[in-house]
């Protein structure tokens, strides 16, 4: 599947939601924990060698599962292949919880669902659509299903 | 840099049962071959996939839509043409994807869908809505609840049907055409009327 590396590079330079040096181990058997600068930008996770400006790699954070791995670590796996895990080692339990929370909220799908949730709740409570003020109330991706079920 | 393609393919394939934000045929100008090729495009969130055929298991390619500019391209050889311009990276220009829709209505609908397709938009909106919701809960003496969590998987959530997205077919011709350069968007009052006007058109298609 073709993609433009420059687009990803540009994204990796954007302000990050979270960035920290973590231990990281790939999903392949026998892979070793390495120190990486890990950076969360929108729904992508970039990881860099600690002294380099270009990321080594990028993961798309959609349809993934974030699981705690003792001690003070977590793993990311993708729904379609749950045994294949990317492992991360944090400096503390607090850091681990911070990363896990941020990663779970990072996907576009999660944000979209949250937006729809708040929109629906606000509309129920006020009778008004909070998206109207932004001029996006008609957009298909923010629509609720009809209550036909 | 290695993009872990399995993470992307997992997303692409896992979502196939759900309607995307938009999909359809677009003409795409090749990078080397300068003729337009007919491709099936699928927009989900901030990712635009293109396939050789609608039913293909693997996309041909991916365009990342974060911080892109989408503009109609007037004066192009192909009618209903537009460009997706990706951001620059230190000295090298962004790449311009040259695309064309099959008709004016499709052009307008795609421009509108692509213009809003960034995570950043959602990130900007969410805190405002969340704050508004919490304030309302506080005023009502109600305990605020949280939106369903989980890294983008829907299957295991017990969300009621009211949270499901209804993907409307873009038939709002007047409104979408107003996205084309220079024209102001219709107010929400206007859109209800224009939708009523257009329904007979949709039915006759």
Report pLDDT digits (tens) over A16-55: 999 999 999 999 999 999 999 999 999 999 999 988 999 9
- Looking at residue B29, its pLDDT comes to 93
| Helix H or strand E segment including B129 | helix B119-140
Q: Which of B9, B64, B129 sits opposite A7 (nearest CB)?
A: B64
**Strand order from edge to edge, sheet including B2-3:** A64-69, A73-78, A81-89, A18-25, A34-41, A44-48, A57-60, B2-3
ipTM attached to this prediction: 0.89
- Cis ω before B77 (30° cut-off from 0): no
Pairs of CB atoms within 8 A across A/B: 233
Residue B68, token pair as written in the block: 């892109």
pLDDT digits (tens, 9 = 90+) for A73-125: 999 999 888 889 999 999 999 999 999 999 999 999 899 989 999 999 999 99
B119 contacts A141? CB cut-off 8 A: no
Q: What is the DSSP letter of B41?
A: E
- A3: Cβ contacts below 8 Å, ≥ 6 apart: B3, B8, B61, B62, B63, B64
Strand pairing category for A73-78 and A81-89: antiparallel
Q: Does A124 touch chain B (CB under 8 A)?
A: no
d(CA B174, CA B191): 8
The answer to whether A90 contacts chain B (CB < 8 Å) is no
Give CA–CA dist B108/B73, Å, rounded: 12
């Amino acid at each position: 599947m073709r993609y433009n590396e420059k687009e990803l590079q540009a994204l990796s330079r954007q302000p990050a939601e979270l960035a920290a040096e973590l231990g990281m181990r790939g999903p392949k058997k026998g892979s070793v924990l390495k120190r990486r600068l890990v950076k969360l930008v929108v729904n992508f996770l970039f990881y860099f060698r600690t002294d380099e400006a270009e990321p080594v790699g990028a993961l798309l954070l959609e349809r993934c599962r974030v699981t705690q791995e003792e001690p003070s670590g977590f793993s990311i796996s993708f729904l379609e292949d749950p045994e294949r895990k990317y492992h991360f080692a944090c400096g503390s339990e607090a850091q681990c919880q911070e990363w896990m929370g941020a990663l779970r909220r990072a996907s576009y799908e999660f944000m979209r669902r949250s937006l729809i949730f708040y929109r629906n709740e606000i509309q129920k409570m006020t009778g008004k659509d909070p998206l109207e003020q932004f001029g996006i109330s008609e957009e298909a991706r923010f629509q609720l299903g009809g209550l036909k079920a | 840099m290695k993009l872990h393609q399995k993470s992307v393919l997992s997303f692409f394939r896992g979502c196939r049962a759900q309607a995307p934000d938009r999909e359809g045929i677009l003409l795409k100008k090749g990078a080397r071959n300068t003729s337009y090729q007919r491709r099936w495009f699928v927009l989900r969130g901030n990712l635009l996939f293109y396939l050789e055929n609608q039913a293909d298991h693997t996309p041909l390619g991916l365009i990342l839509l974060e911080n892109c500019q989408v503009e109609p391209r007037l004066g192009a050889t192909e009618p209903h043409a537009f460009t997706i311009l990706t951001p620059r990276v230190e000295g090298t220009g962004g790449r311009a994807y040259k695309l064309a829709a099959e008709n004016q209505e499709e052009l307008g609908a795609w421009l509108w869908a692509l213009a809003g397709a960034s995570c950043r938009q959602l990130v900007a909106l969410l805190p405002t809505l969340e704050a508004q919701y919490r304030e309302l809960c506080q005023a009502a003496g109600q305990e605020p609840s949280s939106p369903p969590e989980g890294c983008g998987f829907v299957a295991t959530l017990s969300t009621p049907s009211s949270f499901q997205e209804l993907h409307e077919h873009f038939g709002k011709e007047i409104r979408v055409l107003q996205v084309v350069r220079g024209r102001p968007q219709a107010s929400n009052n206007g859109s209800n009327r224009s939708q009523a006007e257009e329904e007979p058109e949709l039915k006759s298609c």
